[in-house]
Amino acid sequence: MNVRKLAVQSLLRCEEGAYSNLVQKKVLSEYELTELDRSFYTALFLGTLSREITIDALLDPFLKKGVSGLDPEVRAILRAGVYQIKWMDRVPVHAAIDESVKLCRTFRKASASGLVNAVLRKVADCDIEQVLNSGGEISSISNRYSVDPGIAEKMLVEYGDAAEGMLKASLLPGEVYVRVNTGKTSEDELLSGADLFEQTDVLNCLKVKGSVRSISELIYEGKVYIEGYPAQYAASVLGVEKGDDVLDLCSAPGGKTMCMAMSALPGGSVTAVELYSHRAELVTELSEALDVSNVSVVCEDGRIFHSDMKFDKVLCDVPCSGYGEMASKPELRTKAPESGSELPALQMELLENGASLLRSGGSLVYSTCTVFREENEDVVKRFLEKHTDFKGKPISAKSEYAIKISDHETKFLPSENLPEGFYVALLTKL
């Protein structure tokens, strides 16, 4: 199988609106690729997607109608070709160009072969630094770190001199973390076995030392499942204990749900609410794969979900712009911030409904995977000003990566050590 073809097909699927992680998963599960081919496909597909804005800035000067004026197939072929030339050192320039020309015929775009050949040769000879440094500050940062200009501007306003470091970190590959299924094994058992994991400062959260394939058997057996470090930290901040009844108001795909469900055993339960049926099914499938039986999945809008029960703990991990996840979801890099202007209102509705279902003395975590104040600190501040029966609760959970915002708020900012952004606030009901 031609892995370059697979990468271009994957880029086309993402341009149509598909999620990169799902596209990648489907390709790697459907095709029997060697380890080398799997690595090449992943690097080319996700690398090209991550550098799309930068690549287009390199291509535009050599195209009369710009990148947007190309047929989708030709656009994807050129983007993948540029990525190989400028960022894949082990691919000879002539090979990247020749293979790209061949792909034109593969995708029935033979008439574009001459264009692809000429443009890629020009890009290969161009001074990338000169192109990336052209224009004003916003344009330069947008092109250099491959983010929508609106993201670049917003980051500069909120984080000043730290913005470029965060954007640079968001281009780095992240480490893989898993959560131990304490119903089937233990952290100690996994750490004492084959040298596959490294311990973290979050209980039952382990860093994978090698590739995901090295732990595929453990995943298949349901002894571990992949879950990001900040997400596991957020679940740990809530402090779920044995016997607790927990509400997870926006539960899919279910990673944090399972963290809390395991902590609630024996005797406790998690009610997992999810708006969309196909996403609610993901939570059910994960609980079945892990044999976690104390999860009840409810397909309903979290803003209006009602229960006669008052819960001991509530997690409001709300829908957000997701800009803290650009390292793992590169399609977010081209998403303008204005497209999520309605999010703070939605987040407040979910937080208020979750709070209404919490018992007195109970704890609530509000969390997002974005770095912008309007979805994080500002939402929590407005909520506390409006609801005097709530107050911030000091966070005792430690993390070497978390930055303390206040006694009850922490934030992860993308860095070389952890290229993810995340926000966590802990509240209690009086």
Question: pLDDT tens across 66-97, in order?
Answer: 999 999 999 999 999 999 999 999 999 999 99
Torsion sign over Cα 379, 385, 386, 391 = positive
Kindly report, as residue ranges, where domains of CATH 3.40.50.150 are found in the chain: 177-429
Kindly report, as residue ranges, where domains of CATH 1.10.940.10 are found in the chain: 3-134
Task: Report yes or no: 326 and 332 within 8 Å, Cβ to Cβ.
Answer: yes
Render the burial of 217-230: b for 16+ CB within 10 Å, e for the rest: ebbeebbbbebbbb
What are the tokens at 127? 């001074």
344-391 tens-digit pLDDT: 999 999 999 999 999 999 999 999 999 999 999 999 999 999 999 999
pLDDT at position 156 is 97
Task: Report yes or no: 368 and 317 within 8 Å, Cβ to Cβ.
Answer: yes
Nearest to 75 by CA among 14, 132, 121, 8: 8
In Å, how far are 174, 236, 282 from 419, measured between CA atoms? Answer: 6, 20, 26
CATH number 1.10.1750.10 is the correct assignment for the domain at 3-134: no
pLDDT at position 348 is 98
22-60 tens-digit pLDDT: 999 999 999 999 999 999 999 999 999 999 999 999 999
Nearest to 177 by CA among 144, 140, 213, 225: 225
200-252 tens-digit pLDDT: 999 999 999 988 989 999 999 999 999 999 999 999 999 999 999 999 999 99
Task: Determine the topology of domain 177-429 in CATH.
Answer: Rossmann fold (3.40.50)
Task: Report yes or no: 418 and 174 within 8 Å, Cβ to Cβ.
Answer: yes
